[in-house]
Structure 1
Amino acid sequence: MKIAHVFVEHPIYHLDHTFTYACDGFDLQRGVRVEVPFGRTHIIGFVSEVKEISEEEKKSYGFEIKSIDSVIDEEPLINEELFTLADWMADTYVAPKISCIQCMLPAKLKPKSTHGTIKMEAFVQYVKDINNLTIKQKTALEDLKAVKLMPRAAFYQKYKTPGKKLIALGCAKIIEKEASAFVNEIQVQESEFTLSTQQIQALHEIRKSKHHEVFLLHGATGSGKTEVFLQLASDTIKQGKQVVFLVPEISLTPLMVNRVKRRFGNALAIYHSGLNAQEKYEQYQLVKHHKVQIVVGTRSAVFMPFDDLGLIIMDEEHDTSYKQDRMPRYHSRDIAIERGKYHDAKVVLASATPCLESYARALKKVYHLVEMPQRINESFPEVKLVEMRQAIKNGEDATLSNTMLDAIYERLQRKEQVILLLNRRGYTPILRCISCGHVIQCPHCDVAMSYHKQDKQLKCHTCGYQMPVPTHCPSCGSSTWRYLGMGTQKLEELVQVKFPQAKILRMDADTTGKKNAHEDILQAFANHEADILLGTQMIAKGLDFEDVTLVGIVNGDAMLARSDYRSAELTYDLLEQASGRSGRGDKRGEVIIQAYDIHHYAILAAANHQYQYFFQREMKYRHMANYPPYTYLVSMVFQHKQEAAVSQSVSYAMEYLMKKEGFKVLGPAGLHKIKDEERTRILLKGKDQRQLSRMVKDVYDRHIASKQKARLEIDLAPIILE
């Protein structure tokens, strides 16, 4: 008897094992999807193993072995490398193996009952010649015979009546094939640049290694890191191997895609969350069937089905967008390094502001550090700090100081471009009653609702709930509201009032919801259809516009008010990256940072482009507080709509943890409610990462075994703590 061990589609820990099904009569391979009976329903599973058993072995199972219903795939979706990677992810991130497999595949291939159907396209195929055809029929058949296969729509557009007759006569037939992305050869528009001395040195350092090695390319903004990427990619493609460029956000994808296309001319695959399910599937198939050698994409592109990967480039490696916020909570950096080991491929982590953990590893020789400290144009922008307390005392505008207004006016007069950064979308973040001070909060989350003037709605930026502005205060009945704070919508309105002739583009989560919106906005700015690009942090990194000579940062120290231990690092990253958008061409650049605490070391380091200064200061605080990279953190969040259920689960976990040694327990700490769920967090802090992983796995197993009502969410390496 032939049996298959199958992981079922539900990513639940108590189902994190294989189920056994008979598969006699099926040509089954490890790594394909199958439909199987499961309880009273039928679901999708993933074959982990196929083997023959004897009748005696069959009896030892002790239950009736049901047969699989059907096989979905003709060939495996998951190869041996990805099976090994799924095992590593499940162990490293304490996640069900099936959830690790699901995150590797596009939606239409996920082992889920809800996976989408593949779009099919109709084609007309040549079959045979016959006698007694009309002239038009002969012409149509000769054209079809020359190409063998033609899209039905194109065939009917050219030969509708004779074409249908040919099908009726059996000279041609209609077949269906999977829709596929169009692969087009593009003419090379860009030759290789003359390299600077530091680019040559960086390339030499990376090229010296012939095998897998992780490089940290620490290059100043505007130092020419992208050209180094392209040169390395050229080396790899000449060897017949594959290359993946990872970028943290969709907004950066079109910029990297354009550079790659201009340089190499050949087609590439593009993979990010802005594509629909069918488009992702088509791009995935381009890689699987070796129609392209290069992939440019965001976080999940690291899982594309490579089989001869030679180079992984992770640009802006510090960015928090590389961390998955749902199970399995992987980091793309970890996956890139694991895949690099398997393929013996080089991994290049690049940033002007490397995360502290990466830079510390580089200093310890775990990564190979490559430095590019100088800009290509050898000119960093001048940075001015404006202390807003003093500006307000002087009677200046509380949002845009006179220094900022004068600088914007000067650029507009010179026909140069401006980028304005305010890392808060919406119109105002708080709506408060003037009479009693009541703040309108989301009814489902413990956060203030943000007012969006354009939609005339209050929106929760945590759960997405929307509501109209209430006519009266629910607390005291007053009808007078005060709009507190500033969002990008309000800033846009203010700038337009101050500079009525200026053309402004706003780029934030509200303006980039439509398909290709990121690309359209950036292209319009590149074409000088706007004088000012205004937005949130998505405009702070990766942009390269030669005529941008002023970057203005509003509320530059806002993130320092957060209680998160990374607040200083996030502040420095944002300011340094945003500053790097100014003066990238031949014109002198300027940056103006408005802040209330201009003497904070993170702001001073960004103003002077001194990463090492910031690194040393911040590492002292991390060492004193025993935070990463000096220790490891594990987060366990218990959540449920009933507070009592959360409390019970937390108490049960704490009772077990307090009996153990070798790590520190922080908490439990109550977190703000999200989507009507009460939440409490326990943090584990220790020097031994494996011990922490084992401990949290034990807590999870006990939590499941005792049938606790609360849901337990685990993050083995939390980047941001609320």
Structure 2
Amino acid sequence: MSSRARVLVLNSALGPLDYRVPHGMTVEPGSVVVAPLGPRQLLGVAWEAERMPSDAEVGDNRLRNLLAVADVPPLRAPLRRLIEWTADYYLAPPAAVVRMALSSTAALEGGRSVVEYRATGTVPDRLTAQREQALERIGDRQGLIRELAQIADVSDAVIRGLVKVGAIEGVAVDIDSPYPVPDPDHAPPTLSDDQRAAAATLVADVDAAAFRPTLLDGVTGSGKTEVYFEAVAAAIRAGKQVLVLLPEIALTEPFLKRFHDRFGCEPVAWHSGLRATQRRRAWRAIAGGEARVTVGARSALFLPYANLGLIVVDEAHETSFKQEDGVHYHARDVAVMRGLFEGCPVILASATPAIETRHQVALGKYAEVKLPGRFGVAQMPTIEAIDLIAEPPEHGRWISPRLVKAMEEALARREQSLLFLNRRGYAPLTLCRTCGHRFQCPNCTAWMVEHRLTRRLACHHCGHIEPVPRLCPECQNEDTLVACGPGVERIADEVAALFPEARTAVVTSDTIWSPAKAAEFVARMEAGDIDIVVGTQLVTKGYHFPNLTLVGVIDADLGLDGGDLRAAERTFQQIRQVSGRAGRGAKPGHVFIQTHSPKAQVMQALVTGDADAFYAAETEAREEAGAPPFGRYAAIIVSSEEQGAAHDTARAIGRAAPRVDGMEVYGPAPAPLAMLRGRHRFRLLVHARRALDVQDVIRDWLGTVEWPAKVRVAVDVDPYSFL
């Protein structure tokens, strides 16, 4: 006898489909299966029929047989409930969410081995400069030919040549080899009284093995990581799995080192920088329960943990936890929901918690643990505002005289400095001073950013790049192109001119694009090989450099542009975080904030350190406006390669907007980024009272409108970007 199975195939355009389970095949809810669809074979997940209604019932005689069941554990019920909730809340196709859980298709195959390569110690007779460089840099490392070539900064052919002459040999590696188990008692830290009390509370939550979200609110340098590591240790002792979410891939490598020092081995890493074999090994170990601690970016949230006992969201205020394409979820909020479905505690660690998180604490829905002071002898840095109107930089420069003097003094004391400007490249705009031509991206409504390190103009929205031309493309004049405004590369040039003997590093996503690059930067800072860092938001969080005593914020007003409802909060968080890099050791720290508006509320809060007053005023303003967390927003983004089609669809959606008490619809209007990646864009903004089930309203509303296949309509619930 055969039975039926309802299957969610990995095709977002389709709903659940019914299949016949052949005799001898065992399929249960959560089983990963291979299903036929026309001439194709698709992966899918078996689901409870009552939880995933089908559009049409099909008789048993018309069902097609499932082809296979993958040799992996079924997706557990808590993960299936999380997938359902995410799809419902963020108005996403369930298949798109399931795809995030099955993010390594190689993991669904059986056991495998791969040939990796390592140096043999033999020196070849013909030792070219490149071969010598390769052997020196590879050392005792092991990996695929492409990986060794990247480590050595040589071509694949050089590595293959070393294999031929016996200097490098191949070795078969089981790519599903087990990970080492972290030792919770390897190197327990010495905690302060405040840290011990906070750790005891978090450990008790882990021991209780029940859902409990807790905000770990500690100033920068207070030792939040060491505190939640004690909760991690408790979960390991209890035989549970732990997930630690980090906002940036660049933070992963420093975190791995700190974890290794505490637990004697590295955790399992999960991020976009992993190669396919690493992702496969990690996925299978997580699903099988062997991976005890996983640290990763937001996508790690949907992995199929077998026995999850604790979730930690580090730097929980970070906006990079919000996914801006595909499924528009916020990892901080989804992490809380996963904790609810798994029945485990969730720790949200931050020095600058989001207003939404603070509101949940005020309502009593989240617990709170505070760390009010820095660990050990370290003190919070002194913060001063520099009024750029009263104390302007010299003509053609961007660093004010007072900050230049402070940098001179730091260099004289052999201490490190950090200059922060959240703008990549050399200049945000290049124009012709003869005809006024501005270089704009051909695919986006955005200016091209000049990058002098790579001699390119780049669009930071779609990735389009082109060489900097010698002639103006409009008037054909030579030597008339001028860079307007500063980026970090321009500030680095100014630093080089002011302090030619200083060793400077530019830290952005252009220079720190992988965990290995982040580790190299950290090693150079700790060794004292860098005197001055010029960086973007990448350096505002997670790093601990005891000899870094001076921080200068070049343009504190930059984040206040654009009318974003979170602009002031985001600016406060970012500058307070980067300020927290100063004075984390025994040496005192100093911060200088360059601003045109020193009297602005956010600047006054930063200088005085009165975070509570700032948050109280911001929260009151949000409540008056009915903005989150007191009201709700949802954006409807209509896009097409044809402007007319996008415009017509947006207007049709606008005309069909329902009249609902407690809900307003604004638009449609051209998006601030009216064209992105070659697609014309229009936006509608839904503003609703908190109690309204806005998802059901939007779902029914859009269900009444038809649009052509060339038009995309995306919904962003709780948007963070208004571009």
Find the aligned partners of 1:350 and 1:405 in 2 and give their Cα distance: 34
Alignment partner of 2:700 out of 673, 698, 701: 698
Q: Superposed, which structure 2 residues align to 1:552-567 within 5 Å? A: 552-567=552-567
User: Which stretches in structure 2 are left out of the alignment for 5+ residues?
Assistant: 51-55, 117-141, 145-170
Find the aligned partners of 2:223 and 2:21 in 1 and give their Cα distance: 58
Deviation at 1:585, TM superposition (A): 0.4
Q: Secondary structure at the match of 1:657?
A: coil
Alignment partner of 1:92 out of 75, 78, 89: 89
* 1:351-376 superposed Cα distances (whole Å, 9 cap, x missing partner): 11100110111112111122222222
CA contact (8 A) 2:107 2:284 kept: no
> Counterpart of 1:92 in structure 2: which amino acid?
Y
Whether 1:80 aligns to 2:80 is: no
Q: Superposed, which structure 2 residues align to 1:502-651 within 5 Å? A: 502-513=502-513, 516-651=516-651
CA contact (8 A) 1:385 1:598 kept: yes
* 1:601-623 superposed Cα distances (whole Å, 9 cap, x missing partner): 11221222222121012123223
Alignment partner of 2:62 out of 45, 64, 87: 64
Q: Secondary structure at the match of 2:460?
A: coil
Deviation at 1:434, TM superposition (A): 0.6
* 1:209-244 superposed Cα distances (whole Å, 9 cap, x missing partner): 433211111111111211211122222222222222
CA contact (8 A) 1:188 1:262 kept: no
**Residues 1:369 and 1:355: Cα distance change in structure 2 (over 3 Å):** same
Whether 1:282 aligns to 2:281 is: yes
- The range that moved more, 612-621 or 26-35, is 26-35
Answer with 1 or 2: which has the greater Rg: 1
Find the aligned partners of 2:534 and 2:642 in 1 and give their Cα distance: 42
Q: Could you tell me which residue of structure 2 aligns to residue 663 of structure 1?
A: 663
Q: State TM-score, norm by structure 2.
A: 0.85
Q: Secondary structure at the match of 2:35?
A: strand
CA contact (8 A) 2:553 2:594 kept: yes
* 1:14-38 superposed Cα distances (whole Å, 9 cap, x missing partner): x122243453454444434433332
CA contact (8 A) 2:378 2:584 kept: no
Find the aligned partners of 1:79 and 1:379 in 2 and give their Cα distance: 47
**Residues 1:706 and 1:720: Cα distance change in structure 2 (over 3 Å):** closer
Q: Secondary structure at the match of 2:482?
A: strand
**Residues 1:177 and 1:6: Cα distance change in structure 2 (over 3 Å):** farther
Find the aligned partners of 1:512 and 1:249 in 2 and give their Cα distance: 11
Q: Secondary structure at the match of 1:389?
A: coil
* 1:45-66 superposed Cα distances (whole Å, 9 cap, x missing partner): 3333699xxxxxx996297323
> Counterpart of 2:59 in structure 1: which amino acid?
Y
Q: Could you tell me which residue of structure 2 aligns to residue 685 of structure 1?
A: 687
> Counterpart of 1:288 in structure 2: which amino acid?
A
Find the aligned partners of 2:464 and 2:221 in 1 and give their Cα distance: 40
Q: Could you tell me which residue of structure 1 aligns to residue 159 of structure 2?
A: none
> Counterpart of 1:120 in structure 2: which amino acid?
S
CA contact (8 A) 2:111 2:176 kept: no
Find the aligned partners of 2:496 and 2:110 in 1 and give their Cα distance: 47
**Residues 1:60 and 1:411: Cα distance change in structure 2 (over 3 Å):** closer
Deviation at 1:187, TM superposition (A): 8.8
Q: Secondary structure at the match of 1:670?
A: strand
Find the aligned partners of 2:439 and 2:307 in 1 and give their Cα distance: 55
Q: Could you tell me which residue of structure 1 aligns to residue 722 of structure 2?
A: 721
Whether 1:465 aligns to 2:461 is: no
Q: State TM-score, norm by structure 1.
A: 0.85
Q: Could you tell me which residue of structure 1 aligns to residue 262 of structure 2?
A: 263
Deviation at 1:446, TM superposition (A): 0.5
**What is the aligned residue count?**
658
Find the aligned partners of 1:307 and 1:188 in 2 and give their Cα distance: 20
Q: Could you tell me which residue of structure 2 aligns to residue 225 of structure 1?
A: 224
> Counterpart of 1:670 in structure 2: which amino acid?
P
Find the aligned partners of 2:400 and 2:256 in 1 and give their Cα distance: 38
Deviation at 1:322, TM superposition (A): 1.0
Q: Could you tell me which residue of structure 2 aligns to residue 360 of structure 1?
A: 359
> Counterpart of 1:679 in structure 2: which amino acid?
R
Find the aligned partners of 1:629 and 1:426 in 2 and give their Cα distance: 35
* 1:332-363 superposed Cα distances (whole Å, 9 cap, x missing partner): 22222122223321111111110011011111
Deviation at 1:286, TM superposition (A): 2.6
Deviation at 1:304, TM superposition (A): 3.1
> Counterpart of 1:558 in structure 2: which amino acid?
L
**Residues 1:235 and 1:569: Cα distance change in structure 2 (over 3 Å):** same
> Counterpart of 2:575 in structure 1: which amino acid?
L
Q: Secondary structure at the match of 2:36?
A: strand
Find the aligned partners of 2:69 and 2:173 in 1 and give their Cα distance: 16
Deviation at 1:627, TM superposition (A): 1.4
**Residues 1:661 and 1:179: Cα distance change in structure 2 (over 3 Å):** same
Q: Could you tell me which residue of structure 2 aligns to residue 137 of structure 1?
A: none
Q: Secondary structure at the match of 2:214?
A: strand
Whether 1:183 aligns to 2:179 is: yes
**Residues 1:62 and 1:242: Cα distance change in structure 2 (over 3 Å):** closer
Deviation at 1:189, TM superposition (A): 10
Find the aligned partners of 2:716 and 2:57 in 1 and give their Cα distance: 41
**Residues 1:661 and 1:653: Cα distance change in structure 2 (over 3 Å):** farther
CA contact (8 A) 1:270 1:295 kept: yes
> Counterpart of 1:194 in structure 2: which amino acid?
T
**Residues 1:615 and 1:663: Cα distance change in structure 2 (over 3 Å):** same
**Residues 1:623 and 1:586: Cα distance change in structure 2 (over 3 Å):** same
Q: Superposed, which structure 2 residues align to 1:243-258 within 5 Å? A: 243-258=242-257
RMSD: 2.8
> Counterpart of 2:101 in structure 1: which amino acid?
M
CA contact (8 A) 1:544 1:581 kept: yes
Q: Could you tell me which residue of structure 2 aligns to residue 148 of structure 1?
A: none
**Residues 1:274 and 1:218: Cα distance change in structure 2 (over 3 Å):** same
Alignment partner of 2:190 out of 188, 194, 216: 194
CA contact (8 A) 1:391 1:398 kept: no
> Counterpart of 2:572 in structure 1: which amino acid?
Y
Find the aligned partners of 1:508 and 1:122 in 2 and give their Cα distance: 34
Deviation at 1:718, TM superposition (A): 0.7
Q: Could you tell me which residue of structure 1 aligns to residue 155 of structure 2?
A: none
**Residues 1:322 and 1:297: Cα distance change in structure 2 (over 3 Å):** same
**Residues 1:181 and 1:608: Cα distance change in structure 2 (over 3 Å):** farther
Find the aligned partners of 1:191 and 1:183 in 2 and give their Cα distance: 19
Find the aligned partners of 1:313 and 1:437 in 2 and give their Cα distance: 51
Find the aligned partners of 2:388 and 2:37 in 1 and give their Cα distance: 64
Q: Could you tell me which residue of structure 2 aligns to residue 166 of structure 1?
A: none
**Residues 1:2 and 1:310: Cα distance change in structure 2 (over 3 Å):** closer
Deviation at 1:482, TM superposition (A): 1.3
Whether 1:39 aligns to 2:35 is: no
Whether 1:439 aligns to 2:438 is: yes
